[in-house]
Structure 1
Amino acid sequence: MSSQALLIIDYTNDFVAEKGALTCGKPGQEIESEIIHLAEKMHKNGDWVLLPTDVHKPDDPYHPETKLFPTHNVRGTWGRELYGGLKEWFDTNNDDEKVRLFDKTRYSAFAGTDLDIRLRERKIDTVHLVGVCTDICVLHTAVDAYNLNYHIVVHEQGVASFNQAGHDWALDHFQNSLGAEIVTSI
């Protein structure tokens, strides 16, 4: 029997809120209800809902993103808190073992984490991807999921990015280079 998990990637204030340090702004805000809907639906179905969430130290000289982006998602700050209604949804459901937020320090939710081990222990072979940014963290997570032989489902109404061209390119790449299933809603 196959099992599945929803990965809600980096849906934090710094990436989504108007005053976030590295916000994708309106496009990210517009996917909030779809993300919460999917989390609720999959959770009620008994599926896993995982929240791989970026975490950084200010001005970390050893992290490659320090040269590329302003400081963001610092542990213990407003910027790293989950955005909008997702924070409330998580706070309500985080006592369930199938709902987990975990740290990631690279674009991919698999890089430097035990995500692959946790998924395989639970016989999960399908990952549903939502969050931000479509062409950065969601993309790198999808590439690693592909290389680890997971079935990938990307929810088009549940992903957003800084720019439309990158977003559109990533959706095409998911489907045509990674064999991902692109769905508009479940």
Structure 2
Amino acid sequence: MSNEALLIIDYTNDFVDDEGKLTVGKHGQVLVDYIVDLAEEFRQAGKWVILPTDLHQENNPYHPETKLFPPHNLKDTWGRDFYGKLNDWYNEHKDEEKVYMYDKTRYSAFAGTDLDLRLRERKVDTLHLVGVCTDICVLHTAISAYNLNYDVVVHEKGVAGLTQAGHDFALSHFKGSLGATVK
């Protein structure tokens, strides 16, 4: 029997809201009910709900994304708050042991964090992924999870990319190159 965790990746205002600094827009906004319902399903089943969330410093000369993207997900800003109903859900449940936000500074939720250690301590072997961007942070997290021997499930109704082509590529890559379940 598997021990599962849900990772809600970067589902913040900066990535999803129309006013976000690096938004996927409407494609991401329509995911909110699915993501919140899935989070609640995992929470009620006593499973882990982890929210790996991008954290950046403005104009950081040492971070490669500074050259690639406008400043986004800056500490203590509206842009880093979770989008829509997810923000309400998180604020209602954030003090529960199995619900927590996780700071990350790279595309993969595993890069430069102790996420793998925490998951292994909790005997988690299957990761369910939702969030944005399908072809950036969700993809890199899935690749890291694959390389660390986790079973990966990507919820197609819970992910969106910056472009349709990138989104479609990532979904194909999850199945064809990572052996992930896409449902």
**Global fold match (TM > 0.5):** yes
TM-score by length of 2: 0.99
Partner of 2:77: 77
- Residue 67 of structure 1 deviates from its aligned partner by 0.3
CA distance in 1, matches of 2:52, 2:88: 17
Partner of 2:156: 156
CA distance in 1, matches of 2:24, 2:172: 20
2:156 partner SS: strand
- Residue 102 of structure 1 deviates from its aligned partner by 1.1
CA distance in 2, matches of 1:102, 1:130: 15
- Residue 2 of structure 1 deviates from its aligned partner by 2.7
Partner of 1:8: 8
Partner of 1:92: 92
Partner of 2:112: 112
Residue correspondence of structure 1 range 165-184 to structure 2 within 5 A: 165-183=165-183
CA distance in 2, matches of 1:140, 1:124: 19
Partner of 2:50: 50
CA distance in 2, matches of 1:129, 1:41: 14
Counterpart AA for 2:158: G
Counterpart AA for 1:13: N
CA deviation string 1:100-131 (max 9, x = no partner): 00100000000001100000000000000000
2:177 partner SS: helix
CA distance in 2, matches of 1:30, 1:165: 18
CA deviation string 1:68-96 (max 9, x = no partner): 00000000000000110000000111111
Q: Which runs of 5+ in 2 are unaligned?
A: none
CA distance in 1, matches of 2:102, 2:180: 24
1:144 partner SS: helix
- Residue 31 of structure 1 deviates from its aligned partner by 0.7
- Residue 43 of structure 1 deviates from its aligned partner by 0.7
Partner of 2:29: 29
Runs of 4+ in 1 over 4 A off after TM superposition: none
Partner of 2:19: 19
Partner of 2:66: 66
CA deviation string 1:107-162 (max 9, x = no partner): 00000011000000000000000000000000000000000000000000000011
TM-score by length of 1: 0.97
